[in-house]
A and B are shown apart, each in its own frame.
Chain A
Amino acid sequence: MSDRRRVNGPSGGTHTPIFSKYLAKDVKELNRPTRVRAPNVLRKMFLKTGVTPSASGSAYLEMEPPRTRNAIGPGLASLSTSGLKLTCTVHGPRPLPKNAPFSPHIILTTHVKYAPFATRKRRGYIRDSSERDLGVHLETALRGVIIGDRWPKSGVEVIITILEGEEDQWWGDDRGRGSISAGEWGMMSVLSGCITVASAAIADAGIDCVDVISGGVSAVVRGSEISDRLSPGMLVLDPVPSEHEEIVSACIVAYLPGRDEITDIWVKGDIGYGSQSSEDNPSYEELTDNAVQAALGSHRVLVGALKETAALKLAR
């Protein structure tokens, strides 16, 4: 319901045909991607700053795509898997326009947009509610880090384009049904990537921060193709939604390792009651602690990338 001023075409669009051959009796044949990493291992990450010369700061982040176990199979485009690819540009700090009211702080604007081709289903050019939601989360995460009162009367824009998004579920599970549980699990890893890449770009732009912030995701997943019965929930770091049959709950934190603080936390799903933890249902606190561990992992990559940037800038 984001755009009521125009008469838009149907939002749903049409479905791609799914041939009965692929609605296979044996789903195993269909190359469901499975998690080959250990539960506490993150995906490989590539991070580079200074990719956009015209912006005052920029960064690019890429995550390794999930691997299918046996690569033989039909070479259809729809079977391809994608990793996460994000670019971030930071413009500013620059003076506010003349007619803007006085502000004692830097005015932070965040803008997160999926490229139209970023996901399996095409995204429009107007930002939809989930993109705005991501923008608000990113703003919350960054505002606590930037030392805003060093730049009164100025503004900074953080713009993130998602070139390749994370899928919310495995395409083979989507038999034209849409999502069932809390859904949109892909958004969690996207947000975590957004936070990390924005942090690198802000550091590249030379904006003063209290610490380098990084994002991390953890999730409770259930079920694999081996067992039919309800298996107990398992905690994993850096989940790829298409690799798991069911995600019970997930948590993303924006973490400041130097201060041991969290500026943004977002937990959703069926988390269960309070601090009691059972084998089946890890508690809220375990979920956050694991997300913090994931954030520490991406922090290491971030620091490495920033050291490279610094060496490059000093050599010049």
Chain B
Amino acid sequence: MPSSMSQQILLSPAELSYLHTSLSSSPPIRPDGRSSTQFRPLIAETDILPGTNGSARICFADGTEAIVGVKAEVEKSRARYTHADEDGEGIVEEDEGRGLNEWVELCVEIPGMRDDDSMPVFLAAMMSEALLADGEFTRRLYINRRFHWKLYLDILLLSQPSSYPLPLLSLTTHLALLLTKFPRLKSEKDEDPLFDDDWDASVFLYPRSSTKSFDRPPVTLLVMSVNGNIMFDPSKEELSVAEVVLAVSVGERSRSEEGDMVIDSGKTRDLRLLAVRTIDPPSRLTHPGVPNALNTATGGSAADTSEKASGQRETMAEGSVWQPPRGGAKRHQIAAMIQKVLEQGGVAEEVMAGLDGVDLG
């Protein structure tokens, strides 16, 4: 990731300093005029590939585009070492409806990158970890004790990754999974599975319920922070001055069993934090600026040795010229970023509401 990202940052130290200053003012002034929690406009299309169980395409206004296709196959489950005596029964019941992580295969393809490059590997790991975090997802793939669905999630980025493509890929995957349908099962219990060949009778992987809130696949959001200002869905230029970048995965769970309590509490969604990861901000790889005092072209005097030069650079007052950030993030900073995602009326709720607006066919 860093090697490929660093080549893409073509901003001078002066430009970076300008960006940094405007993003750290309050409220932050973003280059494209968005507010700090606003996302870039996008076009979403669903059910575009007839050969898949579920598919989606999302196109951002800056031209990045992703397609996700979900394919399912019936696969024989691995034999389990259970035993038929009275003690074994407990274990068998517990196993009922449990899924394994290996039933899901997630693959990310990014043009211009080998499939063993660190970026696709990192993205795939992040998204599958969110999907598998609470063990609820693989439970849906269970058919009976001998068979299960094997789900292949193929995520294709069609354009060059102009910014960090994580939110785009995650939203597209979310839509594709929401639309994924399996043929209806006709056989019973542990028989060889037999399916209804009527596609209209197929069932959703994430069944819709009449209430507004139902289980949803997770969404991974990218959050960045500059000087304490928290911003969502950063563009490439904004990332190049970021101090902290976090990927936060959020899932939603249905609250049907609680019934009336939902209305009382006034909370509409039961959001759950599933995974958090820091992402190496590309700002660490930017060129540092040279202050006038050290620049012979502007009447300054260059240091004699490289040790002196770095010594002078590092003791410089903050905010004079651009310096790539050093060190990590404060604990309360990270907590504030996560809070901003999850709080009531926060960004995650807004994103989920926005995804509700997509016509699901």
Q: B272 contacts which chain A residues (CB < 8 A)? A: 270-273
Q: A178 contacts which chain B residues (CB < 8 A)? A: 78, 100-102
**By the criterion CB–CB under 8 Å, are B116 and A2 in contact?**
yes
* B280 contacts A by Cβ under 8 Å: yes
Q: Give the residue of B6, B81, B116, B274 whose beta carbon is less than 8 angstroms from that of A176.
A: B81
**By the criterion CB–CB under 8 Å, are B121 and A133 in contact?**
yes
Given A261-B330, A265-B278: A181 in contact with B135 (beta carbons within 8 A): yes
Given A144-B326, A176-B78, A274-B273: A262 in contact with B334 (beta carbons within 8 A): yes
Q: B124 contacts which chain A residues (CB < 8 A)? A: 129
Q: Give the residue of B118, B306, B342 whose beta carbon is less than 8 angstroms from that of A135.
A: B118
**By the criterion CB–CB under 8 Å, are B335 and A149 in contact?**
no
**By the criterion CB–CB under 8 Å, are A104 and B79 in contact?**
no
**By the criterion CB–CB under 8 Å, are A175 and B107 in contact?**
no
* A3 contacts B by Cβ under 8 Å: yes
A28 to chain B, nearest CB (A): 12
B330 to chain A, nearest CB (A): 6
**By the criterion CB–CB under 8 Å, are A150 and B134 in contact?**
no
CA gap between A84 and B197 in the complex, in Å: 52
Interface readout for A119-160 with B: 1 if CB under 8 Å, 0 if not?
000000001011011011001100111011110000000000
B108 to chain A, nearest CB (A): 10
Q: Give the residue of B134, B288, B327 whose beta carbon is less than 8 angstroms from that of A259.
A: B327
Q: Give the residue of B273, B275, B280 whose beta carbon is less than 8 angstroms from that of A140.
A: B280
* B328 contacts A by Cβ under 8 Å: yes
Interface readout for A10-43 with B: 1 if CB under 8 Å, 0 if not?
0000000010100101100000000000000000
**By the criterion CB–CB under 8 Å, are B287 and A104 in contact?**
yes
**By the criterion CB–CB under 8 Å, are B135 and A262 in contact?**
no
**By the criterion CB–CB under 8 Å, are B327 and A211 in contact?**
yes
- Which of B80, B271, B329 gathers the greatest number of chain A CB atoms within 10 Å? B329
CA gap between A259 and B288 in the complex, in Å: 22
Q: B3 contacts which chain A residues (CB < 8 A)? A: 107
CA gap between A132 and B122 in the complex, in Å: 8
Within 8 A of A (CB), among B222-272: 246, 270-272
Q: B196 contacts which chain A residues (CB < 8 A)? A: none
**By the criterion CB–CB under 8 Å, are B270 and A273 in contact?**
yes
* A180 contacts B by Cβ under 8 Å: yes
* A80 contacts B by Cβ under 8 Å: no
* B105 contacts A by Cβ under 8 Å: yes
**By the criterion CB–CB under 8 Å, are A262 and B83 in contact?**
no
Q: Give the residue of A148, A177, A264, A265 whose beta carbon is less than 8 angstroms from that of B100.
A: A177
CA gap between A3 and B114 in the complex, in Å: 10
CA gap between A140 and B324 in the complex, in Å: 15
Closest to B7 in A: A101
**By the criterion CB–CB under 8 Å, are A133 and B83 in contact?**
no
* B11 contacts A by Cβ under 8 Å: no
* B331 contacts A by Cβ under 8 Å: yes
* A267 contacts B by Cβ under 8 Å: yes
Within 8 A of B (CB), among A263-316: 263-275, 284-285, 288-289, 292
Interface readout for B78-95 with A: 1 if CB under 8 Å, 0 if not?
111111010100000001
* A4 contacts B by Cβ under 8 Å: yes
CA gap between A259 and B98 in the complex, in Å: 44
**By the criterion CB–CB under 8 Å, are B125 and A129 in contact?**
yes
- Which of B81, B87, B105, B288 gathers the greatest number of chain A CB atoms within 10 Å? B81
* A210 contacts B by Cβ under 8 Å: yes
* A231 contacts B by Cβ under 8 Å: no
Within 8 A of A (CB), among B305-361: 306, 310, 313-314, 324-331, 334-335, 338-339, 342-343
* A65 contacts B by Cβ under 8 Å: no
B349 to chain A, nearest CB (A): 12
Residues in chain B within 8 A of chain A (CB atoms): 1-3, 6-7, 78-83, 85, 87, 95, 98-102, 105, 107, 115-116, 118, 121-122, 124-125, 129, 132-135, 138, 246, 270-280, 284-285, 287-288, 306, 310, 313-314, 324-331, 334-335, 338-339, 342-343
Residues in chain A within 8 A of chain B (CB atoms): 1-4, 18, 20, 23, 25-26, 101, 103-105, 107, 127, 129-130, 132-133, 135-136, 139-140, 143-145, 147-150, 175-183, 210-211, 254-256, 259-275, 284-285, 288-289, 292
A-B pairs with beta carbons under 8 Å apart, 12 shown: A103-B6, A133-B125, A136-B122, A143-B280, A178-B100, A180-B99, A181-B135, A182-B132, A256-B327, A259-B327, A265-B276, A268-B276
**Top 3 closest A-B pairs, CB basis?**
A263-B328, A261-B328, A270-B134
